[in-house]
Structure 1
Amino acid sequence: METFFSHYLLFLADTATIVVALLIVVGGIAAIALNKRKSPASGQVQVTDLRKQLEQSGENVQQYRLDKKALKIHRKTLKKDRKDRANDPLAESCTYLLDFKGDIRASAVSALREEISAIIQAAKPGDTVLLRLESGGGMVNTYGLASAQLLRLRAAKIHLTVLVDAVAASGGYMMAVTADRIVASPFALIGSIGVVAQIPNFHRWLQDRNIDWEQFTAGKFKRTVTLFGENTETGRAKLREELEETHAQFRDFVRQYRPQLDLEQVATGEAWLGNKAHQLGLVDDLATSDEIILEAVRQGKVLALHYQRQKTLPQRLGLAAQQSWDKLWQPPIS
């Protein structure tokens, strides 16, 4: 009897597992079919009216600061201002606010390109863009792409101001120089016009353990230096040559958009705090991003744009499956 019930419970467990698996597959197929019938866009640009947001915040404070009579007058004035703007919505310019927080791969460039495309489609003569930029740099090619995206604004004759509160160094500064104006806070880290490559080498460690590492390439300089093989002076020299060439292109890029700079002085790989960077001409003005944004709010409408990518059910299931696979087959990393 116990054996019968044991087999029966196992049968139920197997059946439940199969049913759940089938439901996941069917759900995934249905989601894919539904997704195909929808718009092909994988995300959308979300827009926030910063002036309304700031006015609401200020009004919340005024409720506690003013007496009833003064509060009534304040609200009446605010209502009149809004009505005047509503009567002539095209009379005032619009400022678009973007944020770019860079990692080593400049991953935010995928959102940046969508936001810039939206601005170019909507912008009218006199509209401007503010970009809050925070990046210590990273990969040359991806930061080059991010810089190229910002240059699309120049091509569309849309004035760009880059705001740096914390850091715009190396690839981050490469992005910043595309702007018509760079504003930094007094203690922001600016510059680092240089190139670096560093790589550990485990050749001697492997050699001590009698482990051979073999690498096969076609092309004399397909690999210049390696993690596990024995590096040669020829390979090292070639890598240095490539770094110098990249640095020269970086310098030329900076010179093109900020010709007033003394590159012999500033293109040394050093970074400076905002005050010194201003003296050297790396930035145009000193202020926090908050000051510039409040100034823009007083002059006209300010819209903050943020591209939000949407994930379909199959993508979410695929991500969960990949994470599960990684936990099973990859060693833990601390």
Structure 2
Amino acid sequence: MFKKISDFIKWIGDHFKGMLFLLILLIVFMPTSESKLKPANLQEIKLSGPIMDADKVLKEINEAQKDDDIKGVLLNVNSPGGAVPPSIEICYAIKELREHKPVIAYASGIMASGSYYASIYANRIIANPGSIVGSIGVIMESPNLERLMDKIGIGTQVVKEGTYKEAGTPTRKWTPKEREELERLTKDTYELFVSDVAEARGLEVKNDKAYADAHIFSSKRAKEVGLIDEVATKSSAKKQVAELAKVKKPVWKEKDKFEAFIESLGTESILKLQGYFYGLKSVLF
């Protein structure tokens, strides 16, 4: 029995590339739906996983903006946040896109930290009843490996100019001055975050403890504090995109099948890693 199992595993290993090639051919050449024969007038853009780079999403936003056939966009968000610059890049790209065509941001799972920041300038923000929204805050962290390095006999040699050049180092405990410098940086970034949220959502900066302060909200509570406009399902969000875009017969843009297949593999892997390493915590936002 074990030999049969071993032989089967070996056969899969020997023929894996061929099977993968056939699967890709099947995906590429499988029959397309009749809707693809009609020009798409609505587009869904996904923001999934930790935000470490904005290039892919920015490219889709730019293409949607330039495509005159596309009348409205759904930004489908399921992300715990990420790095500051790419989150802000997406935020302002959505703000610009909104000037040309309506955008609805939909929280399909997690819309927290940087991914919430990315969504704030949509015409409307709608959240799935079971989604998590908020975490408007900033975090900067680093391990202190000094004791471990001492134990295994590893030391560092540093040549530097500038009092704060080693601020954030993991090789030793931060000095009070270094901590103060990093706290100033996170405070500045937090204030920028809150300021943009307040402007986009019509909230008062002085009331930030109610809707920001890194609170993690259920979709119901997120609506109560003004972070979202409605609690509803994706089908409702898509319907509202069509209504705002004044599209009577919605045709959603479909991605190339091969591209969608490869993307789904990548997204699934990222989300699994996210579950191990991120949880509800964001990298910096």
TM-score by length of 2: 0.69
Structure 2 counterpart of 1:275, which letter? K
Q: What corresponds to 1:226 in structure 2?
A: 169
**Matching residue of 1:52:** 35
Long gaps (5+) in structure 2: 1-31, 261-285
Q: Distance in 2 between matches of 1:127 and 1:203?
A: 56
Question: In the alignment, which of 266, 275, 279 is matched to residue 211 of structure 2?
Answer: 266
Q: 2:65, 2:100 within 8 Å by CA — same for their partners in 1?
A: no
Structure 2 Cα separation of the partners of residues 196 and 141 of structure 1: 14
Question: Residues 283-329 of structure 1: CA distance to partner in whole angstroms, max 9, x if unpaired?
Answer: 101111133325649832232354859xxxxxxxxxxxxxxxxxxxx
Of 137, 152, 161, 1:194 maps to 137
The residue identity in structure 1 corresponding to 2:41 is: C
In structure 2, what is the Cα distance between the partners aligned to 1:281 and 1:51? 41
Give the distance between the partners of 1:215 and 1:180, measured in 2 at CA.
51
Q: What amino acid sits opposite 2:46 in the alignment?
A: D
Match of 2:250 in 1: 301
The C-alpha deviation readout for 1:34-65, integer Å capped at 9, x for no partner, is xxxxxxxxxxxxxxx99938xxxxxxxxxxxx
CA contact (8 A) 1:102 1:172 kept: no
Give the RMSD, CA atoms, in angstroms: 3.0
**2:200 corresponds to which letter in structure 1?**
Y
Pairwise mapping of residues 1-334 of structure 1 onto structure 2 (< 5 A)?
52=35, 94-105=41-52, 107=53, 109-123=54-68, 127-154=71-98, 156-260=99-203, 262-293=207-238, 296=242, 299-304=248-253, 306=255, 308=259
Q: Is the 8 A contact 1:50 1:302 kept in 2?
A: no
Which whole-Å CA distance do the structure 1 matches of 2:68 and 2:59 have between them?
Answer: 14
What is the letter of the counterpart of residue 147 of structure 1?
Answer: C
What is aligned with 1:30? none
Q: 1:137·1:169 contact (CA, 8 Å) conserved in 2?
A: yes
Code of the aligned partner of 1:102: G
Contact 1:98 1:132 in 2 (8 A): yes
User: Which residue identity lines up with residue 248 of structure 2 in the other structure?
Assistant: Q
- The residue number in structure 1 matching 2:15 is none
Q: Supply the AA of the counterpart residue of 2:236.
A: E
Structure 1 regions of 5+ residues with no counterpart?
1-48, 54-81, 310-334
Taking only the aligned residue pairs, the percentage that are identical comes to 23
User: What letter matches 1:203 in structure 2?
Assistant: E
CA distance change for structure 1 residues 162 and 207 in 2, over 3 Å: closer, same or farther?
A: same
Which residue is 1:75 aligned to? Answer: none
Quick check: which has more Rg, 1 or 2? 1
Distance 2:254 2:117 in 1: 22
- Give the aligned partner of residue 19 of structure 1: none
Question: In the TM superposition, what is the alpha-carbon distance from 1:133 to its structure 2 partner?
Answer: 1.0
1:131 counterpart letter in structure 2: L
Q: Distance in 2 between matches of 1:278 and 1:212?
A: 52
Using the TM superposition, give the Cα deviation of residue 98 of structure 1 relative to its aligned residue in structure 2, in angstroms: 1.5
Cα separation, 2, equivalents of 1:120 and 1:300? 20
1:130–1:160 Cα contact (<8 Å) kept: yes
> Distance in 1 between the 2:232 and 2:49 partners?
21
- The whole-number CA distance in structure 2 between the counterparts of 1:114 and 1:284 is 27
- Return the letter of the residue paired with 1:97: E
Whether the aligned pair in 1 keeps the contact of 2:51 and 2:115 (CA below 8 Å) is: no
Residues 137-166 of structure 1: CA distance to partner in whole angstroms, max 9, x if unpaired? 011112112222222203x43111001121
Tell me if structure 2 keeps the 8 A contact 1:116–1:153: yes
CA distance in 1, matches of 2:153, 2:119: 50
SS at match of 2:252: strand
Say how many residue pairs are matched.
222
